[in-house]
Structure 1
Amino acid sequence: MKIYIKSLILITLILNSIELKSQDIQFSQFYNVPLYMNPGFAGSLHRTRVSFHQRLQWPKLDAKYTTSVLSADTYFSKYKSGVGLMVLQDNQGGGQISSTEVHFMYSYEVNINRKWTFKPGIEAAYVSRFLNYAELRFPHQFNNTQGLVSGTDPQDLLNRAKAYADLSAGGILYTKEFWLGFAGHHVNTPNQSFDGGANVSTLPAQYSIVSGYKYVLFQRVSMQHDKEEISVTPTFQYKWQGKSDQLDLGLYGAVNEFLVGFWYRGIPIKRYEQRIQNNESIIGFVGWKGETLRIGYSYDLTVSRLARAGTGGSHEFNLTYVFPKKHKKKIMKRLPCPSF
């Protein structure tokens, strides 16, 4: 019976993904995957940046969600333009469902005045999804006494694949201390159905708003030009897609190179059902930001009713390398986002 229940849970998760009732991948360190968050962030550092990011979600459940992101972006000051490339690999259920995505971004920097800057961006992606029916188990294969009693139907042994184009756009308005970004993903609402067009299952467009303000509490530059700074940065990110929405609200602190942050994910004033409060997780983050190397780790503590299943929370790791400047240039206004 225990095997039967676990199989039903896994099948439910898989079928939800097939029917596209699940939502986009969510990252707790959303500022450490800026190209995934908004194409307007391409080239936002005004230097060349390469980043590797990985999320391990609910490792103690059979679902086994693992997402890896490799990205690179740079800025061309002569053309006031940023370009970015991102490759994303996502696996669910130990490989039963996998997705590979290749994203290209372009952004352009518009100096509104000496204080305000606007960076619109566009994005085009190629997405390939794969579904392995041979590793799935269905309810008709089980009974209450013997467990698994029959094999997979030969028709179900066929591996399914689906590829499609995905379009997105966004923009960021910012000053030295404040930023506000808006993005729309899957604006072409692509069809993700594995049935070769027999059934249409579109991916709903996702929209997001992100904002924050950096408060500098202490700042000093020594005679050796070493900079000391202590700052706190409250941030939020609100996303909605189809009938689902999500809010990340938290605070980010920095003491010179050392970083720490805490976030809450959920909308407690909104209930999906009368007895189910919209609480998802509490997130803690620690990191270190050098001139060229940045490292970050975060952990999601599940606080929803799913915590009873012993999910093991979620882990995220980030490693970013920023190429040093080749020669001195004029000082350019940069986004005050904490991970930058």
Structure 2
Amino acid sequence: MPRRYPPFLIRLTHGLAAGLLLGGVSAARAQDVFFSQPFATRLHTNPAFAGLVDDYGATLSYRNQLPTLAGSFVSTQLAGDLRLDVPGQHHALGLLLNQDHSGGVGYTRFEAGALYAYHTRLTERLALSGGLRASYGRQRVGYDNFVFGDQILEDGRVVGPSAEALDFPPVNYLSLGTGAVLYTERGWLSLAGQHLNQPNLGFRQQSQLPLLLSVSGGYKFFVVKPGPGVATREVSYTPVAAYTRQGGSQRVETGLYVTASPVTLGAVYRNIPALSRVETQHVLAVVAGVQAGGLRIGYSYDVGLSRLSADLGGAHELTLALRAFDRLENAYRRLKRRVYPTAPCPAF
């Protein structure tokens, strides 16, 4: 009589296989989560964005990737930044808390990062921001949902406990990153490198977190440009592009955001080149956001355009941001040349 395995093991096997195929993660390599609203989660992308969009702000992000599978990969992130009110307006600080969790395998990774950015004006219209990030991380695997072979009887019943040695202690690590943003009131170019020290995340064997390199940029075209003072009416469209590489995985993204305040709509096409024998994956992220005073709410959904990515169920992402930006005070500082252009990237 063939041995029957509980549905959990089958779902777990499928979930792990799908994650490896779509994310391009090898047995000895870890990967970072990526967000479909990179401008709402801009501190995750590049520490140099600290203090560039708001005087201060806080953003809560939630991403549920591959929701149709058991044990979907869920990420929750809290980010905050503050431009220091000191002469010259050069300095900004940031805080980034991120937790990744996969319910099926009991995997959890938590990171807490401190960020610093320095802003300077190169010319009357061109400005530069450079940033640093240092993060402490802790990765662990829980065994509550695991079922091992010695717990399964011939009739399919599960008994316990298992005789397996569950000796995988949590892994602690330090990650260092840096980045720069060159920008004007209409366009920007971002370059960032994360995990410069390539920390080891392995439980029993070496498993490095590879260096993550990202380049992105965009240009905003105004149909109606916000005026000085308290005028906030804006109609614009912003084409964007990005390239990211981490270990053997890479992504190319192109997209367009359209803003007619207070609403922003966007569509970003993501191309994930072929990895091993897996065909190239194509994903379209559809983004919608609304702003009311200091509150921003954004939602995005990843639509799989390839067979595998469509079968895996895409991803839901929700962001909630509270921000403060004193336009009257900022206009005064600008006249006195004591402040820098506001980065023109979308808010979602």
Query: Could you tell me the TM-score, scaled by structure 2's length?
Result: 0.85
Does the CA-based 8 Å contact 1:134-1:157 persist in structure 2? no
Distance in 2 of aligned mates of 1:147 and 1:17? 32
Tell me the matched-pair count. Answer: 331
Matched, 1:229 2:234: yes
Query: How far apart are 1:19 and its partner, in Å?
Result: 3.9
Does the CA-based 8 Å contact 1:134-1:156 persist in structure 2? no
Query: How far apart are 1:62 and its partner, in Å?
Result: 1.0
Does the CA-based 8 Å contact 2:105-2:146 persist in structure 1? no
Query: How far apart are 1:74 and its partner, in Å?
Result: 0.5
Q: Which deviates the most, 176-185 or 18-27?
A: 18-27
Q: Which deviates the most, 226-235 or 147-156?
A: 147-156
Going from structure 1 to structure 2, the CA distance change for 1:148 and 1:337 (only over 3 Å counts) comes to farther
Q: Deviations over 1:16-62 (max 9, x none)?
A: 97945352101000110011000001111240101111101111101
| Pairing of 1:83-122 with structure 2 (within 5 A) | 83-94=93-104, 96-122=106-132
Query: How far apart are 1:315 and its partner, in Å?
Result: 0.7
Going from structure 1 to structure 2, the CA distance change for 1:130 and 1:220 (only over 3 Å counts) comes to closer
Q: Deviations over 1:211-245 (max 9, x none)?
A: 000011233659x9534221000011210011110
Q: Which residue of 2 aligns with 1:316?
A: 317
Query: How far apart are 1:257 and its partner, in Å?
Result: 1.1
Distance in 1 of aligned mates of 2:310 and 2:324? 45
Q: Deviations over 1:138-185 (max 9, x none)?
A: 578779x85576756434444531111110000000111110010000
Q: Give, as a single letter, the amino acid of the residue that structure 2 aligns with 1:301.
A: V
Question: SS of 2:36's equivalent?
Answer: coil
Matched, 1:182 2:182: no
Distance in 1 of aligned mates of 2:124 and 2:131? 21
Query: How far apart are 1:14 and its partner, in Å?
Result: 8.4
Query: How far apart are 1:307 and its partner, in Å?
Result: 4.2
Q: Which residue of 217, 228, 232 corresponds with 1:211?
A: 217
Distance in 1 of aligned mates of 2:203 and 2:180? 33
Does the CA-based 8 Å contact 2:168-2:203 persist in structure 1? no
Matched, 1:63 2:87: no
Does the CA-based 8 Å contact 1:55-1:68 persist in structure 2? yes
Question: SS of 2:11's equivalent?
Answer: helix
Q: Which deviates the most, 97-106 or 156-165?
A: 156-165
Q: Which deviates the most, 175-184 or 43-52?
A: 43-52
Does the CA-based 8 Å contact 2:267-2:284 persist in structure 1? yes
Distance in 2 of aligned mates of 1:146 and 1:163? 41
Q: Which residue of 2 aligns with 1:248?
A: 253
Q: Which residue of 2 aligns with 1:330?
A: 333
| Pairing of 1:267-278 with structure 2 (within 5 A) | 267=272, 270-272=273-275, 276-278=278-280
Q: Which residue of 2 aligns with 1:128?
A: 138
Q: Give, as a single letter, the amino acid of the residue that structure 2 aligns with 1:154.
A: A
**Identical-residue share of aligned pairs (%):** 29
Question: SS of 1:154's equivalent?
Answer: coil
Q: Which deviates the most, 94-103 or 12-21?
A: 12-21
Matched, 1:8 2:13: yes
Unaligned 5+ runs, structure 2? none
- Higher strand residue share: 1
Distance in 2 of aligned mates of 1:157 and 1:294? 44
Distance in 2 of aligned mates of 1:17 and 1:303? 21
Distance in 1 of aligned mates of 2:149 and 2:186? 55
Find runs of 4+ consecutive structure 1 residues off by over 6 angstroms: 13-18, 139-143
Distance in 2 of aligned mates of 1:14 and 1:334? 38
Going from structure 1 to structure 2, the CA distance change for 1:167 and 1:335 (only over 3 Å counts) comes to same
Q: Which residue of 2 aligns with 1:73?
A: 81
Distance in 1 of aligned mates of 2:281 and 2:43? 27
Distance in 2 of aligned mates of 1:149 and 1:242? 40
Q: Which residue of 301, 304, 308 corresponds with 2:303?
A: 301
Q: Which residue of 2 aligns with 1:172?
A: 181
Distance in 2 of aligned mates of 1:235 and 1:139? 50
Question: SS of 1:253's equivalent?
Answer: strand
RMSD of aligned alpha carbons: 2.9
Distance in 1 of aligned mates of 2:181 and 2:107? 34
Q: Deviations over 1:255-275 (max 9, x none)?
A: 0211000011115xx54467x
Structure scoring higher RCO (CA < 8 A, sep ≥ 6) equals 2
Q: Which residue of 2 aligns with 1:262?
A: 267
Q: Which residue of 2 aligns with 1:288?
A: 290
Q: Deviations over 1:190-210 (max 9, x none)?
A: 011113xxx322111110001
